[in-house]
Amino acid sequence: MTYKGNIVAYNNLNEDLKLKIDKTADINAIKTKVDNSWQKGVYNDTAITNLGNSSTSKAFRFNDWDADNSKLDSLYINIPVGRAFSGLIKLTLTSDYIVENAMGGTEIVYNIAKVEDVVFLNTMSINYISPDFAKCFYIKPLVSEASRLYIPITKAPNTRNDINIKIEIFSMNAIFDTVNAITINRDSDISQSHPWTPQTTSFMQKNQDNTISGSITSQSTFPFILKPYGQRAHMFHKDANGNLFIAPTAENGNAEWSLGAVFALDGTVHMPKLIVDGVDLKQSVSNGKAQVASAITGKGVQTASDATFETMANNINAIQTIGGAKGNGTSYMSDSSTIFSVSGLSFGPRVINIYSSNGGARIIYNPMVSHIADTFAFDTNNYRWHNYGGTNVQLLPNGFIATATAPNLLGSYYWEAFK
């Protein structure tokens, strides 16, 4: 047996060596923690990050699509927020060219507030989406349930593109554990049928072919600038009340595109055609103004089809929808009929009431009930009222003519005309 010397054990060491060994163990423990922590300038392999308990994000890579590329396929992002939630959820997606071109990506913001099944706010704004990505993927609005939220996403047929997904939540609630528990699952139910109309941004954007796409809504942001061909450009802004106004840009010839009018230094105005969802907005506004002007004119206030919106608003306020005029007159006979004639009004009447001064007869005309006036006369022989009907009423732009055949109508009368 070979002699190996005395066995050295920890308890046999002097105190200095023991202390050095203990410190080495502590250093190794600290080194392990440092190696696994975030470090500046070093790749940190983690899928979830947080800046406080109310601002957290998580990243995924999903490629578990059906092996059959020809099929539609869906997934859903499950967010177990619990009973109550109020905050913003930002969804960022990106893909590339694998089976089909899905290059680019999208950024979507959901604004959600709910308590169990009661939803107080749920909106979806697409900040940006590339046309190629929109052909391959369709992202649905956020769905709220009693204890969770989820976002359905559908992949078009004949694609099998991987997709990177980042979910960021900013909330008044403590949501680190919520974000940590987010999952992505294949969905047996297809959430969007195909073919679909590719989604576009909720705002205006310039495309690669220099066209403008997107939606103009009360939530749309401004400004945008149109290339002014070397002249100074002006841009649209929107104030707190949603009104548009024009102000000069800080840029000159570098400006490229705009929502609307561009004013050059020579005083000329460049008004490009703006097409949104296949609609020429300028022509649509022009048609709409003509329809509104026609309706205002029909209410008795003459309005040109090219009048300004301010003029139209003033003319609408000038429409009198109630009131009218009243007065006294004397009827006369013509071909065995009693004639009531009133003129000089400032409006064309619609409803007319006529009362004989002796109280023995009255004529009531309301075209919403009948185009023939009801004529009531008191039958002195039988001491009762009788409806003779049959009175013809001709409405004039400034009055009316009523022709009656009932008895006891000749003489003075009191009349009322309503607009």
- Exposed / middle / buried, residue 148 (Cβ in 10 Å: 0-12, 13-18, 19+): middle
pLDDT at 255: 34
Asked if 76 and 165 count as a contact pair (C-beta separation under 8 A), the reply is: no
Alpha-carbon span 246 to 228, nearest angstrom: 15
Output the pTM of the full model.
0.47
Asked if 418 and 351 count as a contact pair (C-beta separation under 8 A), the reply is: yes
Task: Tell me which residue has tokens 């409405």.
Answer: 395
Q: By C-alpha distance, which of 276, 260, 211 is closest to 247?
A: 260
Alpha-carbon span 136 to 257, nearest angstrom: 28
The amino acid present at 355, given as its one-letter code, is Y
pLDDT at 342: 92
Asked if 89 and 182 count as a contact pair (C-beta separation under 8 A), the reply is: no
Task: Tell me which residue has tokens 């010839």.
Answer: 253
Alpha-carbon span 102 to 161, nearest angstrom: 7
Widest distance between CA atoms in the chain: 154
| Cis status of the peptide bond prior to 141, with omega within 30 of 0 | no
pLDDT at 142: 92
Instruction: Extract the tokens encoding 370.
Output: 């009948």
Q: One digit per residue, pLDDT tens: the chain, 419 residues?
A: 565 555 656 666 677 766 766 677 777 777 777 777 777 787 777 787 888 888 888 898 988 888 888 889 999 999 998 888 999 999 999 998 888 888 899 999 999 999 988 999 999 999 889 989 999 999 999 999 888 899 999 999 988 888 999 999 998 888 888 888 898 988 888 888 898 988 888 765 556 655 555 554 433 333 443 334 344 444 444 445 544 444 444 443 333 333 444 434 344 444 445 544 455 556 666 777 788 788 778 766 788 888 887 787 777 776 665 668 889 999 888 888 888 999 998 888 888 888 887 777 788 887 766 777 778 776 666 666 777 777 888 888 899 998 888 777 788 888 888 87
pLDDT at 281: 56
Q: Per-residue DSSP letters for 179-231?
A: HHT-EEEEESS-SS-SS-PPP--SS-EE-TTS-EES---TT-----EE--TTS
Alpha-carbon span 225 to 276, nearest angstrom: 16
